[in-house]
A and B are shown apart, each in its own frame.
Chain A
């Protein structure tokens, strides 16, 4: 099976960051392969190792995001395409660029993260499936292959659903799906010889814009309920919940 995996580079959400004058300032400037996208790469590699095939990664982003393509190649992907743009894009604009690239690519399965770690928006998967007229499954927590069918376990509102998805099809992956491998030295060396196609692209029709950032409203400082006697501590908490918070 030929897999296309759409990946993205995001700021490290765990690194120090702050809002200054309404703008997001990433103190360390650290950027990483998105964790959900990494799960999608891992899922494609596992299926390729089991049943054969090829894994192509594609990324939309600025020039410096090429390091993230190399990371996916070092994990084991076979080739990469970098659609280069510095423009601020919305989900629909990203999808137009990805769809133009993938439309005639001959892939059996398109995999991507269920959302991006920085925006948490989660629109690209469904949009891309619709743009490419592919059946799709979102929020996959498990993926297997049976001949020409992908068997996808997805986390729904009330339980897990097992869905048979004929190929070509599209799957968005949760980071609960697997533990993405960390590239070893052999993988890193091999990645340098793998082909990466670079194409300059232009954004069009951006309709969603971020106008500023703010800190979330801070919560009132909390109270620690303490004492030597657990029963007394419990009674005091219940009193606070009833009389002060009116929560019970």
Chain B
């Protein structure tokens, strides 16, 4: 039976949320076409997470456990995914569009002779491969693209956060877990990780967050940053940032949202002091409800906002934080 395989990256023992969204879509395609829905987990300890993917409809999970995956280096991941794909022989391999996936999908496609459609917002199986929609030109437009699978190779697809909704499958059982031992050519491990310079400490992971508070140039100092933190605390939000304030050093680079940084699609997005340059909007326009707070009434962020408040964030945020606190009480 043909197979659709979804790769599920794991962080802190938890499956990536966008991967569960992608797995849900893969399960729909499997059901429509009478295919098998499979998943892969490549992690230091893959088996525990593998079991949990049955709830999302994975009938088979390929688990590659190896200490090599403790380091964020691409060579062993490409090797592991190649092994899984050669074993599973899928028609389509689906990935979440994370930085880790962006780091390996090109090399993997080349090694397998597989066409790849990265960063899609929608995709379907066709008789000869995959058709998909991709945001292009900093998400100003959408391109309809088609990939034709060559004999014996799958089509690789990576899916943007928020493109689909993760839903557990009804009546799903425990998946069959197939353990695969990593076979890595030692000579392929040519890069050496020296250090991880900064890591998102505490807080909520931006790409998994359902609420995001993002700061822009209007948040120009410590006092502004403190207000953003308070708004994030009261809403349980992860904190994002525009490129401008990352360059100012007010927020860490991993908080950057946009064409260059992360793509987020939370239920609720607060754009605080963000003007709305196309490069930023490219990374957040999939958010369900957008609140924009900016003192410039002509700022382009208001074109995409669900609700807008024209005003200085130092005046707007304190009563807003208080009103949200009251609403929660």
Contact = CB atoms under 8 A, between A and B. Distances in A.
Interface of A: 11, 13-14, 17, 19, 24, 90-92, 95, 114, 117-131, 135-139, 141, 151, 153, 155-166, 169, 174-176, 207-216, 219-220, 222-226, 230-231, 233-235, 237-238, 240-242, 245, 247-248
Contacts of B129: 207
Given A157-B254, A245-B289, A222 B191 contact: no
Interface string B155-199: 000000000000000000000000000000000101111111111
B248 interface: no
Interface of B: 11, 72-75, 78, 98-100, 102-111, 115-119, 129, 131, 134-150, 188, 190-200, 205, 207, 235, 243, 246-247, 252-254, 256, 259-261, 267-268, 278, 282, 285, 288-292, 302-311, 315-316, 318-320, 322-324, 326-327
Contacts of B324: 238, 248
Closest 7 CB pairs of A and B: A126-B106, A135-B190, A159-B199, A126-B107, A130-B110, A160-B197, A234-B319
Contacts of A160: 196-198, 253-254
B260 to A, nearest CB: 6
If over half of B's interface residues share one DSSP class (helix, strand or loop), that class is named, otherwise mixed; here it is mixed
Given A95-B110, A120-B259, A241-B307, A233 B99 contact: no
Nearest to B292: A222
B140 A13 contact: yes
Contacts of B302: 222, 224
B304 A219 contact: yes
B7 to A, nearest CB: 14
Contacts of B194: 151, 162-164
B289 A138 contact: no
A126 B145 contact: no
Nearest to A19: B141
8 contacts: A153-B197, A156-B100, A161-B193, A164-B194, A208-B117, A230-B318, A237-B307, A245-B306
